[in-house]
Structure 1
Amino acid sequence: MEATLLQIRDQQRQTWDTFSPGWKKWDTWAMNFMRPMGNAIIESLHIQPAAEVLDVATGTGEPGLTIARLATQGHVVGLDLSEGMLATARENAAQQGITNYQAVAGDVCELPFADQRFDAISCRMGFMFFPDMQLAAQEMYRVLKPGGRLATSVWASPPQNPWISTMMGTIASQMALPTPAPLAPGMFRCAQPGLLAGLLRNAGFQHVEEKTVTGLLTFATPEEYWQNMLEVAAPVVAILSKADEATRAAIKAALFAALEQQVVDGKIQLPFASLVLSAVKS
């Protein structure tokens, strides 16, 4: 890869390693939050008992660990840049008694696997952070067997995701935020409908299908939401690190006021939406 892409990759690795303790702390919350997207991915993959599966951007292990329970006679490789995240994935596998899951450090743009190795590939919330999304799609295509299936999810647009846009919008009301470079890695890089589908088709995939999965994320209190964002949301922490104490206090006060408007039945309820895509290697 080009030097600039390698730099992006190394920055991503550093970021996820830095935030891996927070993701470990909030792992149960995160896995419950992400389960609808994981379930949609698994449903699209049609996992067989003897399947060999690659779970790209496996993070703390899902949906790879759930897939491993289905591929009882097969094997799942969970791949991620971050050794910090993978350490939690290995702990989760051991705690759950899952022996056919292997956590491996690696780069999706340079997959360390032979051609036509896997029957299926899952990738939950990873594509938007890859340095070169087209190269990543090509690499996934390369390591899939003919007839193999890929399923992936990415975030839909900011207005469809108040669970994070509430925080970012509040920050923007108190601070001047830099405009991100076009298609720079970030949460909403793949939000435009059809963008990721086009990348998959360009890589050679056929029967590309795209659907939207929605749900509600709940928090008991504004303080719980604030702490969650500070411990798992790297973009939020990066921005707040540039705020002085007064600005940070103003952001927190405005955020809490906004969250109070989202209380239903005593809990803060924030919608989320993702795009889930599936495709087949010819």
Structure 2
Amino acid sequence: MSAPVNAQEGLAGFTSVIDVYEHRIGHVCRAVSSHLPPLLKDFPTSGGVVLDNACGTGAASTTLLKHFPNASIYAADIVPPMVSSFKAIISQNAELQNHVKEVRLEDAQSLTFADDMFDASITNFGIFFFPNPELGAAQIFRTLKPGGTAVVTAWKSFGFRPILWEVQDLIKPENPLTQLPLMEPWCDLALLESTLKAGGFKTVELTVVKEGLWGKDKEDFTLVLLENLGAFVSQSWTEAERAGLPAMISKVVDEQQDKFCVTDGAKLGCMMEAWVAVATK
């Protein structure tokens, strides 16, 4: 099964926003990753070996070490700025230096790690970027030890999407509502389950995790939305229409905060939901 849309285009767009990744979406991906280590119920606490697959800036590695301080971690990502960013983070963190054995620039569809190498494999919001997700799933399966556990996440719902639609309706109501063609098909749990089974896994357990996409205050959340929505608006928009985004986002947040947003102290945000799939070899 091929990816629903051109995943290479998605990766190219992802690379282009690497400088604002953590602020735009990375912090909620990191928050979801904090739910994953407890799902590795059979992980050897004495010191198992983990693959942080499509590792990004290493969120899964960082959170995993909080639960399994004796783990040895290998990481891989196909996006060079992500690999460079994670290596820079490691250089400033003694714990990561001790436990992250290697960070490789690799295609998750053709990993060069040995067969049966890992006690656990985590792919946190990476599988929808694979041009052929089933090949990626087969590589996860191949590199796991028998009895090893894979954890794979994908988005179930996007709390910012209703805001996107409201803003789009204000600026360009005649346009079709903007969709998220790369990630949206994965909202259907059947795609994630069938992809992992096609890769070799017999059973897949799915749960849902909720975390907030946050700004530190209303102004900061408006910027978070601008960073996200600006990447998704129709390419047919004029420069003037694009220029209207900041004001319209602020207007929607001001006037409809109770409808679209959640708060946590001074923070303002919206809730995101993620599928978490757990499969054992």
- Counting only pairs closer than 5 Å after superposition, residues 1-282 of structure 1 correspond to structure 2 as 8=6, 10-23=8-21, 26=23, 30-31=26-27, 33-46=28-41, 47-48=43-44, 49-68=46-65, 70-97=67-94, 98-99=96-97, 100-101=99-100, 102-157=102-157, 161-171=158-168, 174-175=171-172, 176-177=175-176, 186-231=182-227, 233=228, 236-237=230-231, 239=233, 242-260=236-254, 261-262=256-257, 264=263, 267-281=267-281
> Take 1:108 and 1:212, find their aligned partners in 2: how far apart are those partners?
24
Deviations 1:202-238 (A, max 9, x none): 322133111111133332445423433454x3x7336
- Structure 2 unmatched runs, 5+: none
Q: Name the aligned partner's letter for residue 62 of structure 2.
A: L
> Take 2:207 and 2:113, find their aligned partners in 1: how far apart are those partners?
29
> Take 1:68 and 1:94, find their aligned partners in 2: how far apart are those partners?
16
What is the CA-CA distance between 1:116 and the residue it aligns to? 1.2
TM-score by length of 2: 0.81
| Preserved contact between residue 262 and residue 269 of structure 1 (Cα < 8 Å) | no
Deviations 1:94-149 (A, max 9, x none): 22211221221111111122211111100111122221111111111111111110
Q: Please give the secondary structure, in 2, of the residue aligned with 1:274.
A: strand
| Preserved contact between residue 240 and residue 248 of structure 1 (Cα < 8 Å) | no
Q: Name the aligned partner's letter for residue 14 of structure 1.
A: A
> Take 2:252 and 2:147, find their aligned partners in 1: how far apart are those partners?
48
Q: Please give the secondary structure, in 2, of the residue aligned with 1:63.
A: helix
> Take 2:171 and 2:202, find their aligned partners in 1: how far apart are those partners?
46
Aligned Cα root-mean-square deviation (Å):
3.1
> Take 1:109 and 1:143, find their aligned partners in 2: how far apart are those partners?
12
Which structure 1 residue ranges, 4+ long, deviate > 6 Å from structure 2? 178-181
> Take 2:105 and 2:176, find their aligned partners in 1: how far apart are those partners?
33
Distance 1:164 1:90, change over 3 A: farther
Q: Please give the secondary structure, in 1, of the residue aligned with 2:153.
A: strand
> Take 1:219 and 1:178, find their aligned partners in 2: how far apart are those partners?
25
> Take 1:148 and 1:257, find their aligned partners in 2: how far apart are those partners?
49
> Take 1:179 and 1:256, find their aligned partners in 2: how far apart are those partners?
19
Q: Figure out how many residues of one structure are paired with residues of the other and give that number.
A: 267
Distance 1:259 1:63, change over 3 A: same
Q: Please give the secondary structure, in 1, of the residue aligned with 2:150.
A: strand
What is the CA-CA distance between 1:171 and the residue it aligns to? 2.7
Q: Name the aligned partner's letter for residue 135 of structure 1.
A: L
TM-score by length of 1: 0.81
Q: Name the aligned partner's letter for residue 93 of structure 2.
A: Q
| Preserved contact between residue 81 and residue 107 of structure 1 (Cα < 8 Å) | yes
| Preserved contact between residue 259 and residue 268 of structure 1 (Cα < 8 Å) | no
- Structure 1 unmatched runs, 5+: none
| Preserved contact between residue 213 and residue 274 of structure 1 (Cα < 8 Å) | yes
Distance 1:66 1:209, change over 3 A: same
Distance 1:201 1:169, change over 3 A: farther
| Preserved contact between residue 109 and residue 135 of structure 1 (Cα < 8 Å) | yes
Q: Please give the secondary structure, in 2, of the residue aligned with 1:114.
A: coil
Distance 1:217 1:18, change over 3 A: closer
